[in-house]
Structures are given as structure tokens and as C-alpha cells.
Amino acid sequence: MREWTREERYRVLQDPEEIREIYDKIAGTKYRQIFHVQPVTGLSSDPNGFAKLGDTWHLFYQWCPWGAVHGLKYWYHVSSRDLVHWKNEGIGLKPDTFYDSHGVHSGSAFVKDGEMYIFYTGNHRDEEWIRTPYTCAAEMKDGKPVKLTEPLFGPMSGYTEHQRDPKLVWNEEKQKYYIFIGAQTAEKHGAVLVYVSDELLTGWTFAGELKIPGYEDFGGMWECPSVIRLSGKDVLIFSPQYTKLPGRAESTNHTVYIIGTMDYDTLTFTPETGYRYLDYGFDFYAAQAAGSNLDEDHAAVIAWIGLPDNHYPTAEIDWEGSMTIPRVLSLKDGRLIQEPVRKIAELREEEIPGDSSLPDACEILIRFGEEACDLSLFADLEGNGGLRITADPEKKVLTVDKSGMELSFNKEIGEVLEVPLDRELEDMRIFIDHCSAEIFINGGEQTFTAHVYPTDVEHNYRVNADAQVKIYTMKPAVTDDFVI
Ligand code: FRU
């Protein structure tokens, strides 16, 4: 893996032509995707500023132009009418002020009275490399974010430098706006800080630390908190890090949710369930719910296919990381159900005959019979190896093993993960797009997302005899043009 100096990682992009060569090198290569948002060059990580303004969805991603490395971050902007077809719009926010001199870090968007507002973390470092995070805002004007000149507020004392990722929430009952910030306490525990205001862009004051009984010592930092209201309940989604959690092998980066009740008077989130993983896969992080719900019972969410400490085979040619397919969240029986956005089905091109090999971009629908599930995707010409997915109906556990794939990566955090099932395995919907697989299990009761890099010979599949399988090739839905 290439070593990057600080200068290289924090190099400012002065002119788009400086990265054209990187774009030319990666465009059209083997693992570029056709229906996922992916970085135009370099690295994409967290989804940011996800909201619908008029009839257009806006989405940004954390972007480092130079290669597969976390350095000086920009917000790169994409847009869509249907959450399926995405268009490159160029840079949304660049690090060009004192407050965000060392990166425009993650944040959210909110739409009110036909205007879209953006909240983000300005990452400033001084000459001694001491970091000061600022909570900043921007307004969408003519389809592009325009920054406010001053931040809404600076860091809160008594916490470490890790304070970031503002998520704005309107509370109807209190008629107030709240900003939730991912943070780390002085004792190095993950936390959420809450700010309150009557106005969107002024008057912000610190309200306190969110109390979540039972979660006082749960990971060392919480990134990207998102709070949504679904079917009369509150759902807190966040990414705890610096801790290992059960069922996550050696990984120390996770994305979880808790269903409960949010009391804005006492700033207490009372859990009504234990935490669950939003996704059980190897590569899923920093999920963000859209700025407003689709309706009272449904919210759109999107996440990064990747993890903070991981790198992937395409790093060699200076790109990695993509966004998940947008998912629709709903609540059922005390848990979140996740379904791919419905219109994704419009990308189905043709159903392929049962004995064909796996296309690079496809949707697979499987209905399981009585037999134990034994499925291999990306097996070699002899039907061996690949991504092995097995489930023992008695144990109600699905096991996903990627150790049979020829290209291995991030081995040290584990190559086998288990997904606990609440009932027998009935169905799967799998989306494959060149270097990713997203698996929706039992109608979206569980999901499993992973990067996979099948080689030219790893294009076969095997499914146990009594399962019904349909495979559709998929049409392209994202532009991959050089728009900076
Ligand atoms: C999560 C994260 C955020 C931060 C951003 C910087 O992956 O670390 O907390 O704002 O990435 O790129």
C-alpha cells in the first residue's frame, strides 16, 4: 500500500486538471460501478447533506480527490430525481475558509419552506496540528451550497477535539430546532451533544449531553448521529468506534440503531430495545437519514460502503469507496426494516437463464425451500470458492464467509460474519455492482453489505437445489463523467 505524506494528503485542489490524469486512469476500469454513487477520483466516504429540494434529491459525499486516503476532505455533490439515477454535479463545498481549512467534514441538510440548509463540521488545525472543530452552515442557492461567513458555534469545553457531524432535527412539540453532534467525553467515551435554537441559522446554544441510559460506556467516539421519527417512535442511528462489539469479529467501527423515546425536556433518549446493527456486513458505515421523512412511516437512508480503517484493492489505482443504494426504513415489531428504494427495480434489464454466469451488475432474487441455505456467489469455473453464504434453519444464523475469494483485503478484521435471523430464512434480494454486494434478507429484516472484487474467473454461482432463483442484469444509472 502506498505511503502518503501529510503534504500529499492535505494538498489543495487548485485546478480540476490536476486530477484529470487520475480520472483517465480509473474511468472504465473493471471495478467501476454502474448503479452506485462512487468517487469521481480518489476516495469517497460518508454520505452528507442528503435531502430533497423540490423534485430533486441532493447528496454529497466526503471526498479526497488524490487517492484512496483520508486527507483534506471536500463535499462532492450528486443529484437525482428518483434516488436511482444520479448525476455528477461537481464540488459542493471546498475547504477554503479559516474554519474548514483542514477539511469540510460530515454533516446533514434540512429543507424548510422550499429552501435547503446545510450543516457541516469545519475542521481547523493550527500550526501545531491542534484541531478545532466548528459547526458551520450553508444555504443552497441556485443548486449550490453557499457558506455562511461565521460558524454557528465552536467546540464545547469538557470534551475532546472529537466533536463533529451535525444533524439538524425540528421538534414540532417544542417548536425548536436541535443539532445533534457526535462527540467524545474527556474520559474518552462516545457521546452525543445537543444544541438548541428557535432559528435555523442563528441563536444556537448548548443544551446538554444526550442521556441514553445504559450507553454511558459504549465505544470511544460516536460518529454521524442521526435521529429520526418513524411511526410515532424515535430512532437513533450512530457509528460507535474504538470498541469491538459482539458478532463483529475484530472490527472496531460499527453502525447501530436504537428504538426509543426522545424527551427533549430532559434530553434523554430512553431505549425501548437493545441496540441492533443497521447492517451486518463487512463494509457499512456512517449511515445518514434524509433531512425529512418520505412520510410518517418511512425515511430514506444511505451509507458508505466502507469502514474508516479499511482499504480496498482499487486503492492501487487511486480510488475506493461508494455509497449504498438508498434504502427505505420503516418500523415493524420493534425493529427497522430496510428495503432498497422501490424504483431500483426499473433498472432490471433482462432475466438471464439459470445456467449463465453472474453478470457484473445484477439483481438476484432467491426464495428458499426447506433445505439449509448453501449459496456461493463469485465461485470459480469449477464452482469452488467465492463468497459463501450458509444458514442452518435450526440455528437461525446466516454465515457469510469471504475467505474463498481470490482477492482478499482487510483480513485482520475478520473474513467471516454471522447474521442472527429472527425466523427461518425465506428470501434474499441481492444487488451486485462490480465491486459490491448488498443483501436484503427476509424482506429487509436484516441486511449485509460488503465490497467484493471478483476476478475474471470468479463469475459463477451455486445455490442449493430447492431454492428458486431469478437473476436480472442491471442497466446503468449513475453518470461517471469528469465534473469537478
Ligand atoms: C466518519 C468521519 C466523520 C467525519 C468524517 C471526516 O467516517 O470520521 O466523523 O466528519 O468522517 O471525513
> CA 160, CA 221: separation in Å to the nearest integer?
10
pLDDT category, 395, cuts 50, 70, 90?
confident
Task: Name the residue of 75, 123, 135, 165 to mutate for ligand 1: max ligand atoms within 8 A of Cβ.
Answer: 165
Mean pLDDT (the chain, rounded)? 97
> CA 100, CA 115: separation in Å to the nearest integer?
23
Provide the 3-class DSSP secondary structure of residue 286. Answer: strand
Given a contact cutoff of 8 angstroms between Cβ atoms, the answer to whether 438 and 365 are in contact is no
Q: Output the CA torsion sign for 232, 237, 243, 246.
A: positive
Task: Name the residue of 43, 48, 62 to mutate for ligand 1: max ligand atoms within 8 A of Cβ.
Answer: 62
Q: Given a cut of 90, is residue 106 above it in pLDDT?
A: yes
**pLDDT at residue number 290:** 97
Q: Which three cell numbers stand for residue 370?
A: 426447506
**pLDDT at residue number 109:** 98
Provide the 3-class DSSP secondary structure of residue 105. Answer: strand
Given a contact cutoff of 8 angstroms between Cβ atoms, the answer to whether 204 and 198 are in contact is no
pLDDT in tens, 427-445: 999 999 999 999 999 999 9
> What mean pLDDT do residues 17-28 have?
97
**pLDDT at residue number 392:** 83
pLDDT category, 216, cuts 50, 70, 90?
very high
Q: Which three cell numbers stand for residue 391?
A: 444458514
Given a contact cutoff of 8 angstroms between Cβ atoms, the answer to whether 290 and 299 are in contact is yes
Partners of 111 in the β-ladder: 116
**pLDDT at residue number 349:** 97
> What mean pLDDT do residues 17-21 have?
98
What is the position in ligand 1's atom list of the atom closest to the CA of 221? 9
**pLDDT at residue number 464:** 85
**Structural domains present in the chain:** 6-340 (2.115.10.20), 346-474 (2.60.120.560)
Separate counts of helices (H) and strands (E) for the chain: 2, 34
Say which of 15, 46, 265, 401 is annotated catalytic. 46
Of 154-168, 324-338, 405-419, 458-472, least confident by mean pLDDT is 458-472
Q: Which three cell numbers stand for residue 107?
A: 454533516
> What mean pLDDT do residues 398-412 have?
97
The CA 104 to ligand 1 mean position distance, Å, reads 10
The CA 394 to ligand 1 mean position distance, Å, reads 40
The CA 42 to ligand 1 mean position distance, Å, reads 16
288 lines ligand 1 (CB under 6 A): no
- The residue type found at 282 is F
Given a contact cutoff of 8 angstroms between Cβ atoms, the answer to whether 99 and 136 are in contact is yes
Q: Which three cell numbers stand for residue 199?
A: 432559528
**pLDDT at residue number 1:** 75
The continuous run of DSSP H or E covering 90 comes out as strand 87-93
pLDDT in tens, 325-360: 999 999 999 999 999 999 999 999 999 988 789 999
> CA 127, CA 150: separation in Å to the nearest integer?
21
Give φ, ψ of 315 to 5 degrees: -55, -30
106 lines ligand 1 (CB under 6 A): yes
Which candidate, 115, 136, 233, 229, places its Cα nearest to that of 181?
136
Which class for 210: exposed (0-12), middle (13-18), buried (19 or more C-beta within 10 A)?
A: buried
308 lines ligand 1 (CB under 6 A): yes
Distance of CA 131 to the CA centre of its chain: 25
What DSSP designation does 22 have? H
Q: Which residues of 50-84 are buried (b: 16+ CB within 10 A; e: fewer)?
A: bbbbeeebbbbbbbbbbbbbebbbbbbbbbbeebb
> What mean pLDDT do residues 2-14 have?
96
Catalytic annotation present for 427: no
CA angle 254, 430, 245 (to 5 degrees): 15
pLDDT category, 423, cuts 50, 70, 90?
very high
What is the position in ligand 1's atom list of the atom closest to the CA of 239? 1
287 lines ligand 1 (CB under 6 A): no
Q: What does R_g of the chain's alpha carbons equal in angstroms?
A: 22
318 lines ligand 1 (CB under 6 A): no
What DSSP designation does 153 have? B
- Catalogue the E-assigned strands of 355-445: 361-367, 373-379, 386-392, 397-404, 416-420, 427-433, 436-441
Q: Output the CA torsion sign for 247, 253, 259, 262.
A: positive
**pLDDT at residue number 135:** 98
> What mean pLDDT do residues 236-264 have?
97
pLDDT in tens, 186-212: 999 999 999 999 999 999 999 999 999
123 lines ligand 1 (CB under 6 A): no
pLDDT in tens, 282-319: 999 999 999 999 999 999 999 999 999 999 999 999 99
The continuous run of DSSP H or E covering 7 comes out as helix 6-9
The continuous run of DSSP H or E covering 26 comes out as helix 20-26
Q: Residue whose CA is closest, atom 8 of ligand 1? A: 223
pLDDT category, 273, cuts 50, 70, 90?
very high
Distance of CA 154 to the CA centre of its chain: 26
Say how many CA atoms lie within 13 Å of 330 toward its Cβ: 13
Q: Given a cut of 80, is residue 393 above it in pLDDT?
A: no
Which class for 304: exposed (0-12), middle (13-18), buried (19 or more C-beta within 10 A)?
A: buried
